[in-house]
Structure 1
């Protein structure tokens, strides 16, 4: 199947140089597609804390969403993901607060501009939450219910002699769902923003991933924090899909007899791909520091991985440069020569990306093992 797809796409690029540029745009879009997430709920539900946790920043970090015991969000406020500016989480004012009445809330929030909504409550879901969900539903948008501060609820129940963790979680979930019967009993995700590795965060991401358009799935998985080996493997599988598309683009561009074009485009693609993997896998300094704090292993923050990224890019550029001349000379030969150039470039790009992805993924797996995350 891969051979057939390669032949078809490459043939199109050979016959029409403009199509190669279009395929390049498709790969860029795949890695940089926008995702706009609205986070809403009643005042004090923990919206801002969740946004900060998802973005991997502490509440007191520069650029963090403001948190507090009173309503701190006066108007819809966007927060870019620190490493993916195309992913934006919007902190919406609490519904039902004095400045934002429930009846006018939907119109004022301009709900059309968001891909989906996360409705957060720190207790049970109330009338305003249900009303908001129904209005979102009318606009044919997706919404998901999050019961926040589960860690606090668990701590409160632990004092009881009859405490049973699973029973407590089931009771909290059932209590929330009783209030949502009018909406068809949608799932409720139990989450602690202080530790996304616990409870239902990964289930939330999996649910979102199954219901978003494919290109939006790429943005979601890239931006979601690595909370376990399972989460990491989903990211790895996602990047595997990009490899084939990037290699097809590389082959198509190499068929065009333009000096330096193939090398320049391949260098840009490979650099972008490795950089995206590096941040998505949590190998950057910020992510390692947060991981070390969360699992109380200070030694993890000193495992700088940026040299690995730089070496991968450098080695790949050298290898691409070595084959670029051969590809160009082949492309000058009518007929079979252009096909040979496309094949060489396709295989080179595919092999480089697969090798680099494996190296970065193995390093991330190693870090998660050292952190004690499964």
Structure 2
């Protein structure tokens, strides 16, 4: 049996090559696989009570009470390095680090003990002013040539407190002053060009979280950029549009894979592979937009499109290039329809959550 399948596989590969599709299709597939499986490791650190565990949950789209959430509160104090994979994107891991300067992780040995080299970038969380240990950590990260970002958490509490004490309260001015004070304090302690983001983990659509997500995405290497983007919660309609644009840019590669399979003269083979391909890609869309698995029912609407194409699969070999073109166009159109529908669903869910 093994020899039969080996001969069949060789025949498929040879047929692809005969129409110039094999190498290109394989390169497309390898590129997509590499991007999909590219690991991203994000370190989140800060002193006890800074809100870093709540931030780790929020950035993964989880509530503190959800299954798989990082423990919070006095009981959940981080005493060790703990990985928290994204629930829908396991190649993206957020690491909840203990605060620097504890008995188990003294300042002098912190970098070596937590193995800094494995992280792609760092987020340093503080609930009020940045501490001496936070500055030490930032300088060490800077010395290693890695990226780091300061998050001033619980900013919603700061705003409420100041609003309750001031007769003429200006929220924008208050935020500006907090940000400027943080930057000035860090620069005075020798931190070069600090990036400060004011965040509420319970209201990610407010304050600086959208700017933080945009900055992190922009400064990541290409392979890790989309992995980060698709793992982000939908905190704005702009975020949903960026995800849609990123997904759309890959449709041509999936359509090219479909066209390559269409070159194989096996009755029904291309249709089956296309259904599998479409189901897998639409599953990525559902995960990326953070939708419920019930949204996968969108794939059913594609069946009619694919059935229309099926009639072209049993034509003579000499017109296979025509079949490949039809396969490319049909798959391209089907994925566009599904992507538009799911992006629209994500927008409706976001607007409903705000209302």
TM-score bucket (shorter structure): 0.7 to 0.9
Number of positions where the alignment pairs a residue of Structure 1 with one of Structure 2:
337
RMSD of aligned residue pairs (Cα, Å): 2.3
Structure 1 residue 60 displacement after superposition: 2.3
C-alpha change, 1:199 and 1:13, in structure 2 (3 Å) is farther
Cα distance in 2, alignment partners of residues 261 and 145 from structure 1: 53
Structure 1 residue 162 displacement after superposition: 4.0
C-alpha change, 1:22 and 1:152, in structure 2 (3 Å) is same
- Which residue matches 2:300? 314
Q: 1:166 aligns with which of 146, 165, 172?
A: 172
Cα distance in 1, alignment partners of residues 35 and 267 from structure 2: 27
C-alpha change, 1:141 and 1:329, in structure 2 (3 Å) is farther
Structure 1 residue 324 displacement after superposition: 4.2
Q: 1:52 aligns with which of 51, 57, 64?
A: 57
Q: Aligned runs of 1:245-260 on 2, under 5 Å?
A: 245-258=253-266, 260=268
Q: Which 5+ residue runs of structure 2 have no aligned equivalent?
A: 1-15
C-alpha change, 1:325 and 1:150, in structure 2 (3 Å) is same
Cα distance in 2, alignment partners of residues 95 and 265 from structure 1: 52
Structure 1 residue 18 displacement after superposition: 5.0
- Which residue matches 2:227? 219
- Which residue matches 2:94? 89
Whether the 8 Å CA contact 1:38–1:117 is kept in 2: the answer is yes
Q: 2:270 aligns with which of 255, 262, 274?
A: 262
- Which residue matches 1:294? none
Deviates more, 1:244-253 or 1:141-150: 244-253
Q: Aligned runs of 1:225-240 on 2, under 5 Å?
A: 225-240=233-248
- Which residue matches 2:10? none
Q: Aligned runs of 1:36-115 on 2, under 5 Å?
A: 36-69=41-74, 72-115=77-120
Q: 2:185 aligns with which of 176, 179, 195?
A: 179
Whether the 8 Å CA contact 1:278–1:309 is kept in 2: the answer is yes
C-alpha change, 1:265 and 1:225, in structure 2 (3 Å) is same
Task: Give runs of ≥4 in structure 1 deviating > 4 Å.
Answer: 258-261
Structure 1 residue 163 displacement after superposition: 2.8
Structure 1 residue 204 displacement after superposition: 0.5
Structure 1 residue 206 displacement after superposition: 0.6
C-alpha change, 1:154 and 1:23, in structure 2 (3 Å) is same
Whether the 8 Å CA contact 1:13–1:252 is kept in 2: the answer is no
Whether the 8 Å CA contact 1:35–1:87 is kept in 2: the answer is yes
Structure 1 residue 209 displacement after superposition: 1.2
Cα distance in 2, alignment partners of residues 271 and 213 from structure 1: 28
Q: Which 5+ residue runs of structure 1 have no aligned equivalent?
A: 1-10, 285-304
What secondary structure, in the 3-state scheme, does the structure 1 residue paired with 2:249 have? helix
Whether the 8 Å CA contact 1:43–1:95 is kept in 2: the answer is no
Whether the 8 Å CA contact 1:42–1:97 is kept in 2: the answer is no
Cα distance in 2, alignment partners of residues 352 and 320 from structure 1: 8
What secondary structure, in the 3-state scheme, does the structure 2 residue paired with 1:104 have? helix
Q: Aligned runs of 1:1-374 on 2, under 5 Å?
A: 14-15=19-20, 17=22, 19-69=24-74, 72-160=77-165, 161-181=167-187, 182-258=190-266, 260-284=268-292, 306=294, 308-310=295-297, 312-324=298-310, 326-327=312-313, 329=315, 332-333=317-318, 337-372=319-354
Whether the 8 Å CA contact 2:61–2:232 is kept in 1: the answer is no
Cα distance in 2, alignment partners of residues 144 and 329 from structure 1: 59
What secondary structure, in the 3-state scheme, does the structure 1 residue paired with 2:194 have? coil
Whether the 8 Å CA contact 2:48–2:99 is kept in 1: the answer is yes
Cα distance in 2, alignment partners of residues 136 and 260 from structure 1: 56
Deviations 1:325-349 (CA, angstroms, capped at 9, x unpaired): 624645x22xxx3422221111011
Q: Which has the larger radius of gyration?
A: 2
What secondary structure, in the 3-state scheme, does the structure 2 residue paired with 1:75 have? coil
What secondary structure, in the 3-state scheme, does the structure 2 residue paired with 1:196 have? coil
Cα distance in 1, alignment partners of residues 186 and 270 from structure 2: 55
Cα distance in 2, alignment partners of residues 16 and 64 from structure 1: 45
